[in-house]
Structure 1
Amino acid sequence: MIQISDRAQTHFRRLIEREAVPGMGVRLSAVDPGTPRADARLEFAEPADLAGDEWAVDCEGFTLYIHAASVPWLDGAEIDFVTQATGSQQLTIKAPKIKGEAPGEAASLVERVHWVVENEINPQLASHGGRVAVQEVAADGTVLLRFGGGCQGCGMADVTLKQGIEKTLMGRVPGVTAVRDATDHDRGAAPYIPRDSAA
């Protein structure tokens, strides 16, 4: 079920009235669902733009169409039009299932490690142009990672590993006993902080 606030409905209704296109509605879809890049997209939709298999939600003065394949990813989504502390207004979409759901306790250690790396750790490293990939998850719970991008050859990679990644994995994934770096840092082409300048 998707919730769309009265404020958001009023906002959309005003925009649609301004367009003055008969039958125009709003279409909601999930882009790259189930991945860390997942996002929700809202766009105007004229009747000719619709595929015919969309789910329709009747709103005050217009219809919200949900892309059929996106429905499972957008279940529980909330659309609102909020006023910020600065006085500006912003449309917000909260879709808790769009990036996928964390594997449950019954999932393997490998699945749980991969999920945390892709959905929690890599989005943070991306701000420095970096990323990590899981090379191996050993039977004793040791996780081997390879740094890439700005993290390969970075002078702060050891700190990132010990203070950030290892703490996150050991705190979020029961069964992880240690995290090790399997990266050849000498091959880093564009480190965020060159190793020789990190002191």
Structure 2
Amino acid sequence: MINISDSAQTYFRHLLGTQGGDAIGIRVTAVHPGTPRADARLEFCENGDLLGDEWSLDCEGFTLFVDAPSVPFLDGAEIDYASQGTSSQLTIRAPRIKGEAPKGDASLIERVQWLLETEVNPQLESHKGKVSLEEITSDGVVRLRFGGGCHGCGMADVTLKQGIEKTLMARIPEITAVRDATDHSTGAAPYIAR
């Protein structure tokens, strides 16, 4: 499941030894898994911190706990600690943490969701905006709902037609159009007022 190098185990034992108290191990969690922002978080844990559904990996002198929902994203991860001279670095390589693009036989909904979460929404986040899938009609029309800074934004039409629609239609041939299902008059904090 997770490979922890001997040097990383030695490093973790050293860190746990400096903690004192009731720290019993290290917990690793995938943060924002399945998205471009995915990252791994390491933290000390005590018995009271554990939910009971974690996966555990017994190492010499400590236990590494893997947050249960994070397991599919951290499967095959490698944790290493390397020192060179006066510098050192702990690295976690988790090839599945950002998720995997849906295969060709995936549903249209899965493929649209994947593109929205991995390509469209990361770009909209710079304006504190986002879009969510409302529906896909039988004739291939995708209806989206804008949220955050995009809800009520004066540039939402441009974002939809020049960005989102072009991206979705270029990548998924079954899509015939992309429409906005948002009532922009109710936007509370638009990025650009209408």
Per the normalisation by structure 1, the TM-score is 0.71
**Is 2:106 the partner of 1:76?**
no
Identity over aligned pairs, percent: 64
What is the SS of the residue equivalent to 2:147? Answer: strand
**Cα gap change, 1:180/1:186 in structure 2, threshold over 3 Å: closer, same or farther?**
same
Residue 12 of structure 1: aligned partner: 12
Cα distance 1:54–1:147, how it changes in 2: closer, same or farther (>3 A)?
closer
Deviation at 1:68, TM superposition (A): 4.8
Paired residues in the alignment total 191
Aligned CA distance change for structure 1 residues 54 and 189 (closer, same or farther; 3 Å): closer
Aligned match of 1:149:
148
Structure 2 gaps, min length 5? none
- Indicate the residue corresponding to 1:28 in structure 2: 28
What code does the residue aligned with 2:114 have? Answer: W
CA shift, 1:73, in A, is: 3.1
Question: Structure 1: how far apart are the matches of 2:23 and 2:66?
Answer: 16
Aligned partner of residue 72 in structure 2, secondary structure:
helix
Render the CA deviation track for 1:86-137: whole Å, top value 9, x for unaligned.
Answer: x986655443434643322212212221232234322332332211122221
Could you tell me which amino acid in structure 2 is paired with residue 155 of structure 1? G
CA distance in 1, matches of 2:130, 2:81: 34
Name the counterpart of 1:184.
183
Give how far 1:55 is off: 2.6
Aligned to 1:103: 102
- TM-score, length basis structure 2: 0.73
Amino acid at match of 1:184: D
- The amino acid of 2:134's aligned partner reads Q
CA contact (8 A) 1:55 1:68 kept: no
Unmatched runs of 5 consecutive residues or more in structure 1: none
Q: Deviations over 1:30-77 (max 9, x none)?
A: 467667886544222356766496331536x54423345543332122
Paired letter, 2:109 = V
Using the TM superposition, name which of 64-73 and 139-148 deviates more: 64-73
Greater Cα offset, 23-32 or 124-133: 23-32
Cα deviation for residue 23 of structure 1 reads 8.3
> Which residue of structure 2 lines up, in the alignment, with residue 160 of structure 1?
159
Deviations 1:148-188 (A, max 9, x none): 22102212212222332123322433422322223222222
Within 2, Cα distance between the matches of 1:27 and 1:115? 28
Partner AA of 1:74 in structure 2: L
RMSD: 3.6
* Whole-angstrom CA distance in 2 between matches of 1:8 and 1:171: 44
